[in-house]
Chains A and B, each alone.
Chain A
Amino acid sequence: MNQELSSGFTIASSAPIAVALAISALLFVIGLVGFLCRRNMIIMFLCTELMFQGAALAMIAFARLRMDVSGQVFVIFILTVAAAEAALALGLVVLLYRKRETLSADAWSDLGES
């Protein structure tokens, strides 16, 4: 297990930056597609979190590439803020649910044209 771990780490450390960026882009696109396709507000919120993490992963990858820790520090902050924001957003979702008795985003289109 340790072996595997250490060997896996070695593989990861020697892997080109492209792999990390590809995973980051994949996370972002999954989040984006989910956000555009789903109507459930909780799922949509989760999708925004996925996009967030994709961006954070890209930051870590670049920090590793340039051997600069400030990118990693920044990600720590992002995670903290994301946690706070998740609490807030879930609270909002609960309030919206209470108003319309549904979680569908389509229930909230009053500002639209026509």
Chain B
Amino acid sequence: MTQLTSIPQAIIAPELSWVGLALLLPLLAAVACALCCALRVKGKAAAIITILALAASFGIIVKAYFAYTGPVQVPIFQWIDFEWGAGQFQSFNANCALYIDTLTLFWMLFVTGLGTLIAIYASEYMEGYCGSGYSRFFFGICIFLFSMSALVMGDNLIMLYLGWEGVGLASYLLIGFDYARPAAVAAGKKAFIMNRIGDLGLALGIFMLWANYGTLQYSELFAAMNKGGQTSVDWDLSVIPFLLMLGAFGKSAQIPLFTWLPDAMEGPTPVSALIHAATMVTAGVYLIARMYPFFELHPEALATVAWVGGLTALLAATIGMAQYDIKRVFAYSTISQLGYMFLGLGVGTSFGACYHTLTHAFFKALLFLTAGAIMHGFAGQLDLRKLSGLRHIPGWRIVSWTMLVGCLWLSAFPYTAAFFSKDAILLQALTSVRADFRFLGWLGLFTAALTAYYTFRVWFRVCAGPLHFEPGAEAHSESHDHHAPSTHAAHTTAPAAKSDHSFHPHAPRWAINGVLLILALGAVVVGVPAYNQAFAHKDNWAQQMIAGSSAMQGAGLAEDHGSQASVEHPKVLGMDAHTGLTIVGCTASIGGILIAWYFHLGSRKSADQLRAALLRRWWIRWVPICMENKWYVDEIYHFCFRLPMWLGSQILYFADRHFLDGVMVDGLAKIPIAVGKLFRPLYGGALQGYASTMAGGIALVVAWLSWIWLRGFN
């Protein structure tokens, strides 16, 4: 099945070193933001610097995209260079160099583009923190963009690892941005520690790659692959993809390491949108797409990726159905959509996975930013039961309608961009020769219906229906400066500001609205390649991009599927695969939306009645209970890992306190004390005591000397 097509070889192009500015500018901006922080700048200087640097970085990437002719390797400076012999495994190189192929550009375009937009959004969203963390926030954003660029553009796995750890650090810093809140600090630590588990796998995978190929540069690794793979048989190569996979699962929040992502919503919303939805969490997808040839060598590794992705998609969707916090619903939807991407990678369509990453980046950033706007305007209110009919408030129309766009895209409504990207994945799964992949495809379709349901559950509750809202917990707290200072002052000086009825949600201004509109537009635009393919029968731009990179073998598989089709036409439900999938996909999406419409707009009481009815029946009540409690995964981890570790630490503490400290240290110290006690009576302070000791000592010495002397005579 896997027919090895050769990976295009990169040429060395030092004249393109200006692309390195895309890496350097966020770093310089980070330094500038740190200076703003140190000088306690009260204004928005940090935001302006960040936005300018990121926009310039995006411009550079766009220029690089138009200057692109083929894969290039751009040396910048020599970073790590050891040599301890002339042999193949006797040198270690990791230069600061860029590897630019279409996959790199594909990723960098949306990373820097979305980074810029979200920085603009954050400049308004975070203005309550001016003078107290505003610069620190943008420092985190700049560090993140720098690390993410290093991760994507680096020409070797050491650069990737540097970026990988850097985005982890930025994520930790930004989740724990509000460090006075214990929940935020705990969430930051959780994200960091769970990522460490994955990073262990990635590091071991990198070690194994070096041990097998003697190099960590992509170009040399791919050259080795072209020659037919392995150059050393000392190690078992099949563990490499599994180790890399572990790193990807940690960073991209897949089973078993997904529980950190919902908690990461404690961070400011722009961070959730940028890092925990659009860019950082796709690093795992990027890693697998970049190292795709190594995965293709081991079908069982790809099958594992597919299964993990499919199951994560389903699990996260079921949890998302039962959450009441809007951001948490979106967090679980992110995990679920990432599951789709891994399913796509696993079943062999790296194009579908990467295209879904792109569409997802836009609509999920859009959804998070609308949720952030609501949270911002309604004093931290995110409970979807306490907000209703926002589209009736004049200032909130843009938020409501752009949120509708995001929801339609997330639920893969027919002929949206996400519909095509999700179809590309599901089609590959459903037409696979493997029965288990076909099963995963049907599972993915079922998950798509769940996705449509929980997405529109949010929209119908929050934006549609009768107007009604309760402000969040931050509404009356004078000290909380989440709001813009001016509006906040207006609220608190109003005489009736204490009652809920007089609470005026302050509508977002141009920066937030503008970014939301651009993102909604972007979500439409990213569908253009798919429309071209579906209606104008032109080449799909995204497919071209992925096919031109090291992830091309997946695309090659898709072509294989085309040739297969001529022999034995794959069918879905007895119809042509494309038509069948379109019909089933549309049904799933629209069906989910209609169910959501009935329960959450048509008759909201019936949703509560249904829940009560489910809870009354003992044989089904575990379903809603488990879904609302996130399938107790946190509790299981707590019981299986944290509790034994805690017990172990208590035992070790006891041993340390009572054996090492008690017996070894304090016990040894008692010996000189006891000896001292023995001789203490000799030093009672009386002069005669000292004198008799001395006399006794002299007597002993004299006796000893005379004994020797007398013995000498005999």
Contacts and interface: CB of A to CB of B under 8 A. Distances in A.
Interface of A: 32, 35-37, 39, 44, 105-106, 108-114
Most chain B CB neighbours (cut-off 10 Å) among A44, A106, A110, A112: A112
9 contacts: A35-B691, A36-B692, A105-B686, A108-B687, A112-B685, A112-B686, A113-B684, A114-B680, A114-B684
Interface of B: 680, 683-689, 691-692, 695
A111 B695 CA distance: 20
Contacts of B680: 113-114
Contact of B684 (A36, A37, A109): A109
A110 B688 contact: no
Contacts of A114: 680, 684
A111 B689 CA distance: 12
Given A32-B695, A36-B692, A44 B687 contact: yes
A44 B686 CA distance: 13
Contact of A112 (B684, B691, B692, B695): B684
Given A32-B695, A105-B688, A109-B685, 6 more contacts: A44-B687, A109-B684, A109-B687, A112-B685, A113-B685, A114-B684
Contacts of B691: 35-36
A97 to B, nearest CB: 15
Nearest to B679: A113
Contacts of B695: 32, 36
B686 A36 contact: no
Contacts of A111: 685
B302 to A, nearest CB: 79
B683 A112 contact: yes
A90 B62 CA distance: 102
Nearest to B689: A112
A68 B680 CA distance: 47
A29 B692 CA distance: 13
Contacts of A109: 684-687
Nearest to B692: A36
B450 to A, nearest CB: 82
B693 to A, nearest CB: 11
A94 B24 CA distance: 86
Given A32-B695, A36-B691, A36-B692, A106 B686 contact: yes
Contacts of B688: 35-37, 39, 105
B379 to A, nearest CB: 71
A48 to B, nearest CB: 10
Contacts of A106: 686
Give the 7 A-B residue pairs with the shortest CB-CB distance, closest first: A112-B685, A109-B685, A105-B687, A113-B680, A113-B683, A112-B684, A36-B688
A104 to B, nearest CB: 10
A112 to B, nearest CB: 2
Nearest to B685: A112
A109 B687 CA distance: 7
Contacts of B686: 105-106, 109, 112
B236 to A, nearest CB: 70
Scoring B687, B691, B692 by chain A CB atoms within 10 A of each residue's CB, the highest score goes to B687
A113 B679 CA distance: 10
A92 to B, nearest CB: 13
A105 B692 CA distance: 14
A106 B691 CA distance: 13
Contacts of B692: 36
A112 B695 CA distance: 18
A111 B692 CA distance: 17
Contacts of A105: 686-688
Nearest to A41: B687
A70 B692 CA distance: 33
Contacts of A32: 695
A110 B683 CA distance: 11
B686 to A, nearest CB: 6
Nearest to B684: A112
A113 B690 CA distance: 12
A1 to B, nearest CB: 42
Nearest to A108: B687
A108 B688 CA distance: 11
A32 B695 CA distance: 8
A108 B689 CA distance: 12
A81 to B, nearest CB: 21
* Most central of B680, B684, B685, B689 by chain A CB within 10 Å: B685
Nearest to A110: B685
A67 to B, nearest CB: 24
Contacts of A110: 685
A112 B688 CA distance: 12
Contacts of B685: 109-113
A106 B687 CA distance: 7
Nearest to A109: B685
Nearest to A104: B687
Contacts of B684: 109, 112-114
A39 B687 CA distance: 9
B109 to A, nearest CB: 82
A35 B689 CA distance: 11
B682 to A, nearest CB: 9
A58 B695 CA distance: 19
A107 to B, nearest CB: 10
